[in-house]
Structure 1
């Protein structure tokens, strides 16, 4: 077999991806921008991939992990694996994404703990504008699609109400979160961080990323990545099929899903029940309340508007328009 005679270096060189150091650096920078976007709920890494012109390459890279890849892997045909899969492209892209996520996690965790109303207001604005962006992709705004959107919104609203504020911190749930959140990365308009917010694990995951080399944190991160690996291979194909087979219906449900989930990111909440776990106060149950009039409300509304403008500007860029 020709592939068997290739050396690992030759196979790596023939793998789709950057062909020189400059291209590799640019791809890593694009990955960094995607990672920074993915850790902010409401800003999608998929949108950044569109803007930077690598979305099609990203989808092709994900789909390169197919049955042919698996056959070569099971035969321990490492040169064949390197040549077939887009590992060179993914290596530099994921390096940039990982650097951004680890670097931004500390900032986001600090902001959530010290300035919760302000940061949730920004998130609310980001997601509200993302609803508009995703909703524009519904091809036909007919009765059926409006009904699907309403059902998605109702289901999501009820779902986030049933999900407790403190979800399990067991490894199986972390695995599940990773497998679901990763699918949002390839969807323009919906972020993985938004999914983690819905599942009540955004702050938990960003907290572990603050110190990724601690043994207990490393275990959590590896389990999360294992779930992400499964999700990107299995769920992304299902999502890809639904978007191609029933595009308008799928986007309608996704739009409604985001509308209902705004309940989760409403900035003003009242704690109904809390408990001290491992020396820290954890909120177990809370409810949304109306804000008090004052300076905090003005600053929160300004941050909401700022979040909306960021997403709208990114959408204009992705469509080749000037901001």
Structure 2
């Protein structure tokens, strides 16, 4: 077994590299079924992000309230967080319309691409387990079943009020920070995905501000808990997260049969419940070309992209091995 890699805030990535990682995270977070936390994990910044966010509440009390702004900035790894958040926001703002258009016009090819991304991410996260053991099949199986159950829940719709945007932000960020759990998919389930996407595209500062406040509240409350879980139950957590990603493959399968529909607040017909079917069955149901060869090609591209990101992350960290939680 190779020596473990320590991915902590002690290692400094260049700010442009952090910005690009943020853009990759933002692109992933837009799409239901794909986790930005997975991108953070495979690019080597996941634990640094957890450390920076976990340090924030104590830094506010110890440094900021005492007027030590420079000390506060250092404690929360401010340059790293700002660069990462800037990349995420730039990606979300620039890609929101494009992703929405592709979901409407090329769903099979887009979901094939993301299917490949998640398959490669399953391999990557799973290989980070330091001490493989048969008992890890228990949290792995629990993760698979839980994620599969989540993906079978029918979508609902909340009234897009200020409170709904705040709560949606808190829920989404808690999921987004976990590899394998898609915050945007949880938004889809509670009916806030379309309102949030519309608020981004239409630049609605009130709703977006409440959503971001919800994200901040959720992030500060969950980051420390995740850090402690990784520190004390590293392999169990990774097995659980790997299971989450395997279970989520049900949602991103490119060929889905829509079992029921609903009319959203904009008067549009949107799916409520879907189930994966074979390409041939999908073609027979909808009379469309299943685009199998193109879908396979896009899945391979998605898989290769994760491998490239992983390689770039290792090169950026100047080390090879397995990751462990920060001390």
User: CA 1:262 to 1:154, structure 2 compared with 1: closer, same or farther past 3 Å?
Assistant: same
Q: Cα distance, 1:42 vs. partner?
A: 3.7
Q: Does 1:257 align with 2:244?
A: yes
RMSD over aligned Cα, in angstroms?
Answer: 3.3
Deviation, 1:72, is 5.7
Q: Rg bigger for which structure?
A: 1
Segments of 5+ residues of structure 2 without an aligned counterpart are 1-8, 284-288, 321-327
- 3-state DSSP of counterpart to 2:56: coil
2:199 matched to 1:208? Answer: yes
Q: Quick one: distance in 1 between partners of 2:39 and 2:262?
A: 39
With CA pairs under 8 Å and 6+ residues apart, which has the higher RCO, 1 or 2?
A: 2
SS at match of 2:240: helix
Q: Is 1:283 aligned to residue 304 of structure 2?
A: no
Q: Residue 301 of structure 1 corresponds to which residue in structure 2?
A: 296
Alpha-carbon distance change, 30 to 38 in structure 1, aligned in 2, over 3 angstroms: same
Aligned counterpart in structure 2 of residue 316 of structure 1, from 301, 311, 315? 311
- Give the structure-1-normalised TM-score: 0.76
TM-score, length basis structure 2: 0.75
Cα distance between partner residues in 2 of 1:103 and 1:199: 24
Would the aligned equivalents of 2:136 and 2:239 in 1 still touch at CA under 8 Å? yes
Is residue 80 from structure 1 mapped to residue 68 from structure 2 by the alignment? yes
From 95, 100, 103, the equivalent of 1:112 is 103
The alpha carbon displacement at 1:167 in A equals 4.5
Q: CA deviation at 1:289?
A: 1.9
Output the CA distance in 2 between the equivalents of 1:166 and 1:261: 19
2:231 to 244, 247, 265: 244
Contact 2:18 2:83 in 1 (8 A): yes
Pair 1:291–1:146, CA change in 2 (3 A): same
The residue correspondences of 1:170-249 to structure 2 (distance < 5 A) are 170-171=160-161, 172-183=163-174, 186=177, 192-193=183-184, 196=187, 201-212=192-203, 214=204, 218-249=205-236
Tell me the secondary structure at the aligned position of residue 165 of structure 1: coil
1:233 Cα offset (Å): 0.8
Alignment partner, residue 92 of structure 2: 101
Question: What is the aligned partner in structure 2 of residue 158 from structure 1?
Answer: 149
How far apart, in 1, do the equivalents of 2:223 and 2:202 lie? 29
Q: Give SS of 1:66's match.
A: helix
